[in-house]
């Protein structure tokens, strides 16, 4: 099997490094309850994750029949989620040991569409901040977010490596398209929030069922 000769690994956050579904769902349903709406099942909420908080709230508000309360819901969710985002969130199996094995061999970074202050708080709280060299981008770090490749270009410049020697690891079509737009390799994880067909059809160069399988794909 062909292995990819790379210098930089860029990770998506939700659905790739962490299982954050319960904390997101709990905070979202709390916001719905405060506004007098019924809770939504976690299985539905997770399909709304991946493009940032504002799109998450927009889809939730419309699903709940509450488009007129979208702004209130957004503000309530942001407040609640920032306070509770590490209550149940955990690393997926083999993430910690795999990333630790990469230290000193590859440069690493996290790029999420979640706002930067939320992203950095989580990355630090789960113990990965030092491993990724403090290179953590949220959806509002730059004027544009994934699938725009701007963050990947900045990371390439920061580390002095071409994007062709970069791999983006994620669980969604957004991540795969971001990598393609930057000329980077893209690896999709099958255990995340999005359907496997979505990441396959978006052009994933490889699919992995466990995070530690990434070690078998890169030189």
Q: Average pLDDT, stretch 152-173?
A: 97
| Model confidence band, residue 113 (pLDDT cutoffs 50, 70, 90) | very high
CA distance 63 to 73: 13
Of 52, 84, 116, which marks where a domain is finished? 84
Q: Which residue in 5, 7, 12, 209 is the catalytic one?
A: 12
> 12 an active-site residue?
yes
Do both 126 and 208 map to the same domain? yes
Strands 166-170, 8-11: parallel, antiparallel or unpaired by DSSP?
Answer: parallel
The SS3 call for residue 196 is helix
Report residue 151's pLDDT band, with 50, 70 and 90 as the boundaries: very high
User: What's the CA gap between 202 and 205, in Å, rounded?
Assistant: 9
The pLDDT of residue 21 is 93
121 with 13, same domain: the answer is yes
**Whether this model's pTM surpasses 0.75:** yes
| pLDDT at site 171 | 96
CB atoms within 10 A of CB 4: 17
pLDDT at 183: 98
- What pLDDT was estimated at residue 217? 97
Same domain flag for 79 and 125: no
Mean pLDDT computed over 118-140: 94
**In this structure, are residues 171 and 194 in contact, taking their beta carbons and an 8 Å threshold?**
yes
């Amino acid at each position: 099997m062909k292995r990819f000769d790379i210098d930089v690994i860029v990770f998506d956050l939700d659905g790739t490094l962490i299982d954050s579904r319960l904390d997101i769902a709990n905070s979202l349903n709390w916001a719905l309850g405060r506004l007098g709406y019924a809770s939504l099942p976690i299985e539905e909420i997770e399909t709304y994750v991946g493009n940032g908080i504002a799109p998450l709230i927009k889809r939730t508000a419309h699903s709940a029949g509450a488009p007129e309360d979208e702004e209130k819901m957004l503000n309530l969710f942001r407040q609640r989620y920032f306070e509770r985002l590490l209550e149940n969130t955990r690393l997926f199996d083999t993430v910690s040991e795999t990333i630790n094995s990469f230290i000193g061999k590859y440069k690493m970074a996290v790029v999420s569409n979640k706002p930067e202050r939320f992203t950095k708080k989580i990355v630090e709280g789960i113990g990965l901040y030092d491993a990724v060299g403090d290179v953590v981008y949220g959806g509002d770090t730059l004027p544009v977010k994934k699938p725009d490749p701007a963050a990947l270009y900045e990371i390439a410049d920061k580390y002095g490596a071409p994007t062709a020697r970069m791999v983006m690891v994620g669980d969604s079509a957004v991540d795969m398209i971001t990598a393609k737009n930057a000329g980077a390799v893209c690896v999709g994880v099958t255990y995340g929030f999005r359907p496997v067909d979505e990441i396959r059809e978006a052009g994933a160069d490889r699919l992995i069922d466990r995070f530690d399988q990434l070690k078998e794909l890169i030189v």
